């Protein structure tokens, strides 16, 4: 009887407190602090990125990049990081160079989400989109 009661308590504890522990951190918008960035970045970067190295990378990130990330919407963090990595830095570029890269990267990432169903199944572009055959400079279909 004691084992049954213990097992029931364990199941109830996991049911009550388990979801709270795995919930996404609260995002109150910019400007962010370093702690808020580190709490949120795990759900804002692709899963194949080595999330264990983020704190180490953030400590070495240049000040201009840290300021740009902390003052931007968390949805834009990954495009900002990737465009900076590709050399589109806000300083030393023509006006709007980094902004254009970030906006294009973000739009492309959102465009790809439309090809998947809510349960994770590939649905691909619609027949109308394929017939229209509007493409990016890299040959990707644009179905907007």
Q: What is the pLDDT of residue 4?
A: 43
Q: Which domain holds residue 49?
A: 29-113
pLDDT tens for residues 4-43?
444 444 544 544 444 444 567 788 888 999 889 888 887 7
Number of domains in the chain: 2
At residue 64, does pLDDT exceed 60?
yes
Assigned domain for 23 exists: no
**Claim to verify: residue 100 and residue 46 sit in the same structural domain:** yes
**Claim to verify: residue 106 and residue 38 sit in the same structural domain:** yes
Q: What letter would DSSP give residue 90?
A: S
**Claim to verify: residue 40 and residue 102 sit in the same structural domain:** yes
Mean pLDDT of the chain: 75
Q: Helix, strand, or coil here: 142? A: coil
At residue 49, does pLDDT exceed 70?
no
Question: What percent of the chain clears pLDDT 70, i.e. is strictly above it?
Answer: 70
The secondary structure of the chain in percent helix, strand, coil, rounded to multiples of 5, reads 60, 5, 40
Assigned domain for 140 exists: yes
Q: CA-CA distance, 30 to 130, in Å (whole number)?
A: 38
**Claim to verify: residue 84 and residue 58 sit in the same structural domain:** yes
């Amino acid at each position: 009887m004691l084992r049954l009661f213990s097992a029931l308590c364990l199941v109830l504890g996991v049911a009550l407190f388990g979801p709270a522990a795995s919930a996404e951190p609260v995002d109150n918008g910019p400007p962010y602090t370093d702690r808020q960035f580190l709490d949120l970045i795990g759900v804002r970067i692709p899963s194949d990125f080595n999330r264990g190295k983020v704190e180490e990378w953030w400590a070495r990130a240049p000040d201009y990049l840290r300021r740009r990330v902390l003052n931007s919407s968390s949805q834009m963090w990954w495009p900002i990081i990737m465009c900076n990595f590709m050399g589109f830095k806000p300083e030393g570029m023509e006006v709007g160079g980094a902004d254009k890269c970030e906006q294009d990267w973000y739009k492309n990432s959102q465009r790809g989400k439309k090809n998947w169903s809510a349960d994770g199944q590939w649905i691909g572009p619609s027949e109308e989109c394929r017939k229209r055959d509007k493409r990016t400079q890299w040959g990707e279909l644009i179905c907007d």
